[in-house]
Structure 1
C-alpha cells in the first residue's frame, strides 16, 4: 500500500494572496505614525498590506525623506512601494519641495502631501475645510475637534470616517484643478487618500456608507 501523499506546501502557499509590502517614511514622530499605526492594524488593511514605518530621527525636510526612500527602494527588492508622508507648511513652506517631488517621480516613490500640514487631513475626518489655513490654524482647529492637548492622537477616533475624509480631500483636489491652484498654492489639500487607496482594498457599496457623515 502506498503511503498517502502529503499536500504540496508550494500549492498551499500559492493559494494565499501575497501581501503587498509598503514602507512609509514620515517627517513627524507623533500624529502621522499614530494614525498610520492604527490604520495598519485594521483587519482589512492587515490582510492586504504589510506596512512598516520609518521616522526620520532628525524630523527631516521632505527632500531628505525622499532621498531616504530612494535609498531603501534601491537596496531592498522585497519592498513593493515606498511612500513619503510630509507637509507643505504655511506661511513659510518647507525648502526644496519641488525638488523632492521631482526626485520622487524619477524613482517611483509615492507621496502623501498635506497642505498646510497633516492636521488638515485630520480635520477632514470631522468636517469640510475649503478656506486657506496656516499651519498654526490647522493645528489649533484639529485639537479643538478631537480634544487632544498634545501632538499625539488617538488613531481609533479617525478610522470610521477615513473614507469621508478621502472624499472631502478628493473634492479639494478637484476644486484646485478647476481654480488652477497649482502646488504649493493648493492650500488646503491632502493626498493621504492616495495612500489609503494603495494599502486598503476598495470597499463594497454597502461598506462605503458605514461611518460616514455628510
Structure 2
C-alpha cells in the first residue's frame, strides 16, 4: 500500500515565528516518515524543522546534533536503547551519548527498546517488557500499515493525543520503579520532542504544552536520571 496516500489535513499557519529545530536521529526510515510527516502536516520548510537520519550509534548522533546546535533554536538527538538486531543488548555508546548530550545542552528523545514503542503508544498503553522484534511484531498488527518499508503516517497521526497521554503515563510509572533510564523497559521520551514540535507549529494547547515541559524539566534530566540510577544500583 502506498505511504501517505491520502491528502493531509492541514492546519492554518499558526506556527511560532522564526523558531527552528534540528532533529538528528539514529534511524533513517521510521523516524524520517514520522518527523517529516509532522513537518509536512504543518507546511513547514526544512529550515524550520530539519530532520537528519544518520543510521549511526547514539554517540555519533549526539555529536552531529552538537555540531548543528548553534544554527537552530532547538537541537534534539533521537536514538534507541537497544542496538538494532541485538536482542536485549543496549548500545555500547549509550551512556557516553547521554553524558555528552547533557554537557552540550542537547535534548534527547530516547526509546527503550526502540522507536516503534512510540508508534504503538498511539493506539494503546504497553507496559510489558519489549524487545526490538516484539515491538515491530505488535506494530504490524496495528491499523497503520507498518511493515519493513515504513508505515502510513496519515493513519497514525490522528492518534497523537493518545500517544502523548500514554507516553506520559508510562514515563511516570517507570520513573517511580526504575531510577535508571536503562532499566525502564518499555519507556520513551519521544513525547517530549513531539510536544515541543506541536508547540512550535501551534498544534498544541499552550496549557498542556507548559505542563509537559514542566514535567520534562531541564535538558539534563535524562543525564541526571542516569547518574542517579548508577548510584542507586551501585554501578
Match of 1:150 in 2: 148
> CA offset at residue 18 of structure 1?
2.1
Structure 1, unpaired ranges of 5+: 1-15, 206-214
Shift of 1:31: 0.6
CA-based RMSD of the aligned residues comes to 2.1
Query: Number of aligned pairs?
Result: 183
Query: What does residue 84 of structure 1 align with?
Result: 77
2:118 corresponds to 1:121: yes
Shift of 1:179: 1.2
- The aligned residue for residue 205 of structure 2 is 203
Aligned to 2:20: 21
SS of the residue corresponding to residue 20 of structure 2 reads strand
TM-score by structure 1 length? 0.79
Deviations along 1:27-79, one digit per CA (max 9) or x if unpaired, are 11111110001111223x849x91011111xx110011001111122xxx431
- Which string of whole-angstrom CA distances, capped at 9 and with x for unpartnered residues, describes residues 117-176 of structure 1? 011001001111010111110011111213333241211111111121011111111111
In structure 2, runs of 5+ residues without a counterpart are 1-14, 208-235
Contact kept, 8 Å, 2:21 with 2:48, in 1: the verdict is yes
Deviates more, 1:193-202 or 1:102-111: 193-202
1:53 aligned to 48, 51, 54, which one?
A: 51
Aligned to 1:34: 33
What is residue 223 of structure 2 aligned with on the other side? none
Does the 8 Å CA contact 1:176/1:182 hold for their aligned counterparts? no
Q: TM-score, normalised to structure 2's length?
A: 0.72
In structure 2, the partner of 1:7 is none
Contact 2:80 2:113 (C-alpha < 8 Å) held by counterparts: yes
- Please tell me whether residue 63 in structure 1 is matched to residue 56 in structure 2: no
Of residues 16-25 and 128-137 in structure 1, the stretch that sits farther from structure 2 once superposed is 16-25
**Residue 181 of structure 1: how far off its partner (Å):** 4.7
Alignment match, 1:212:
none
SS in 2 for 1:83: strand
d(CA) in 1 for partners of 2:135, 2:168: 18
Distance 1:147-1:19 versus aligned 2 partners, 3 A rule: same
Is the CA contact 2:145–2:151 (under 8 Å) kept in the aligned structure 1?
no
